[in-house]
Amino acid sequence: MSFGRFVLKRSLQGIGVVWGVVTVVFALRFVTPGSPINAVAPLDASQETRQAIAAELGLDQPLYIQYGRYVFELLQGDMGRSYIRGQEVTTLVFERLPATIELAVAASIVAIVLAIPLGVISATRRNEPVDYGATLLSLGGISTPNFWLGIMLILIFAVEFNIFNTSGRGADVGDVALSVVNAEPFVGTLLTWLAYITLPSIALGTYFMALITRLTRSGMLDELSKGYVQAARAKGLPRTLIRYKHALRNTLIPVITVLGLQLGTLIGGAVITEAVFSWPGLGTLVIESINQRDWPALQGSLIVIGTSFVLVNILVDVVYAYLDPEVVTD
């Protein structure tokens, strides 16, 4: 199979998965108890008012018509209109997406910056106190629920020491970039951005950090026991060079794969962290939409989250195939 055909095949599979997501998400509405009309209409609304609202929302149509119309409009980039907000779902979702991506990327950065050195150190100093410390830390990271961690971080660093903001989003990466272009005080904008994003990205990134630390540690241990490392040692190459140039590079290949896939998970998994920090991203929109039975907004958010997951997967596959042609011939 040529590389081009491989990409095409993966893309078609991806489209199939996205269509599946759309269908499942659409079907969810009908197996979930509670009608969206209850969220729109007051409790004492008459049956006529309820019927009028149902008609306005298109809920009085048979299922297959609702589904067909939904898919048809989706193909034109129209995710419908929010039941509750009266606004275009496409606008709502794409307004929120950047905040979630920003948080997911920041969390990944926090994780990588901490995890890789931690993993390397704990592998190279195996069974020393520092290794035990790192193991304990990663165990803690994996087993700590991130809503609890988030609340603790807020209590300590925002309320008690007043270093960071408790919640919300004061400035975004765009503002930071713009402040350079517009010659506005760059440091001020950067610090505002950091004051808001630091705690949620630590809360979200901790689990991921723990995961990568474990992965790096075991990968590194693997590499260090291999023949080429022994040969390099025998040749008298400096230990640092062997560890960081040769062994780490090989260790990082599977780590990068996990990183790629995990980014998709982070986008979907940010829901709880976003709620704790009132981060105005897709996660908050998902929670709000569930509470309000706002199906179009919920469907839109889930489809975008699902699609970004699929996209990242395809991208990782394609990059992998590019780097390792054997994958294509498999």
Among positions 67, 94, 186, 320, the unique one binding another protein when judged by CB under 8 A? 186
Residue 194 is a binding residue for another protein (CB under 8 A): yes
The DSSP annotation for 242-276 comes to IIIIIIHHHHHHHHHHHHHHHHHHHHHHTHHHHHH
Please count the residues of this chain forming the interface with another protein, following the rule CB under 8 A: 73
Residues 6+ apart with CB under 8 A from 329: 1
Residue 177 is a binding residue for another protein (CB under 8 A): no
Among positions 70, 277, 295, 309, the unique one binding another protein when judged by CB under 8 A? 277
Among positions 6, 96, 106, 138, the unique one binding another protein when judged by CB under 8 A? 96
Residue 285 is a binding residue for another protein (CB under 8 A): yes
End-to-end CA distance of the chain: 9
The DSSP annotation for 216-239 comes to HHHHHHHHHTSHHHHHHHHHT--H
Residue 159 is a binding residue for another protein (CB under 8 A): yes
**Three-class SS state of 81:** strand
Structure tokens given for 168: 């919300």
Among positions 146, 206, 284, 301, the unique one binding another protein when judged by CB under 8 A? 284
Residue 275 is a binding residue for another protein (CB under 8 A): yes
Among positions 7, 17, 59, 84, the unique one binding another protein when judged by CB under 8 A? 84
Residue 180 is a binding residue for another protein (CB under 8 A): yes
CB neighbour class for 258 (10 Å; exposed up to 12, middle 13-18, buried from 19):
middle
Among positions 82, 100, 124, 251, the unique one binding another protein when judged by CB under 8 A? 82
Among positions 185, 228, 233, 325, the unique one binding another protein when judged by CB under 8 A? 185
What are the b/e assignments for 201-238, b being 16+ CB within 10 Å?
bbbbbbbbbbbbbbbbbebbbebbeeeebeebeeeeee
DSSP β-bridge partners for residue 88 = 81
CA distance 23 to 19: 6
Residue 29 is a binding residue for another protein (CB under 8 A): no
Among positions 100, 146, 292, 301, the unique one binding another protein when judged by CB under 8 A? 292
Candidate ranges 92-100, 210-218, 224-232, 299-307; the one touching another protein (CB under 8 A)? 92-100
Helix, strand, coil tally for the chain in percent (to 5): 80, 0, 20
State in angstroms the smallest separation of the CB of 18 from another protein.
Answer: 25
Residue 280 is a binding residue for another protein (CB under 8 A): yes
Candidate ranges 60-68, 109-117, 188-196, 256-264; the one touching another protein (CB under 8 A)? 188-196
Among positions 17, 41, 221, 311, the unique one binding another protein when judged by CB under 8 A? 41
> Directed axis angle between helix 295-323 and helix 89-124, to 10°?
40
The 232-271 site mask, x for binding another protein (CB under 8 A), equals ----------------------------------------
Comparing CA positions, the residue from 151, 178, 156, 181 lying closest to residue 275 is 151
